[in-house]
Amino acid sequence: DGGITQSPKYLFRKEGQNVTLSCEQNLNHDAMYWYRQDPGQGLRLIYYSQIVNDFQKGDIAEGYSVSREKKESFPLTVTSAQKNPTAFYLCASSDWDSLNSYEQYFGPGTRLTVT
Amino acid sequence: AQSVTQLGSHVSVSEGALVLLRCNYSSSVPPYLFWYVQYPNQGLQLLLKYTSAATLVKGINGFEAEFKKSETSFHLTKPSAHMSDAAEYFCAVSHDSWGKLQFGAGTQVVVTP
């Protein structure tokens, strides 16, 4: 089955530690996105990438970093510089060259708790 | 800049009653509009989308939405609520070539027996 996988489902870290969230897709999509979700705030875009080895900052990129070395993978690192890292993180992908270019497919999410 | 407003953070409906979730957008160019549903601790699932082909859009699970340009609205409806409709619903808008989505804050739907 094609889809997006995010691992792990739950992640716990101590304050001051960097942590990397995994996102893998086998949909052969060009574009990938990372969102942060907090209660009552909807989803906010952290980073996005339309092609391998290229990515752009979203609305709340401070304290985060990404890489796009492979088409199917778009890992997100939450650095110690992120002041409020505890949140639900969602990865998405879309095939922006097709007629459905604006439809994003979402992974199941990773809930990160930093104490 | 585009934005999305969802009126009502929480909506309670009785089983069998009409579900109406409101979404208004601001965009200087014709937008693409979406409704997504999210069940607890899960990702988002697309319910339906407007891409200018038709103003009345039918989606999955009996939901539909109507694009009204004059009102800049894209309200989501379902004639008869089921218990399984209890979830959070997000309206989103996009109009740029990057495919980025701007999400509303979400509406939590509770269905009572």
A14-46 tens-digit pLDDT? 999 999 999 999 999 889 999 999 988 889 999
B90 touches chain A (CB under 8 A): yes
Q: Which residues of A touch B (CB under 8 A)?
A: 4, 6, 31, 33, 35, 40-45, 48, 50, 56, 58, 88, 90, 92, 94, 96, 101-109, 111
Mean pLDDT of A75-85: 93
The Cα A6–Cα A105 span in angstroms is: 12
Give the number of residues written for chain B.
113
pLDDT of residue A97: 61
Rounded to whole angstroms, how far apart are CA atoms A59 and A35? 10
What's the Cα-to-Cα distance from B6 to each of A99, B41, B102, rounded to whole Å? 27, 21, 12
Quote the CA–CA distance of B61 and A46 in Å, as a whole number.
30
The answer to whether B106 contacts A45, with C-beta atoms less than 8 Å apart, is: no
List, for chain B, all residue ranges whose pLDDT scores fall below the cut of 50: none
In chain A, whose CA is at the least distance from the CA of B48?
A103
pLDDT, mean over chain A: 91
The reply to whether residue B32 touches residue A41, judged by beta carbons under 8 angstroms, is: no
| Per-residue pLDDT tens digits for B37-64 | 999 889 999 999 988 778 899 999 999 9
Beta bridge partners of B58: B64
The length of chain A is: 115
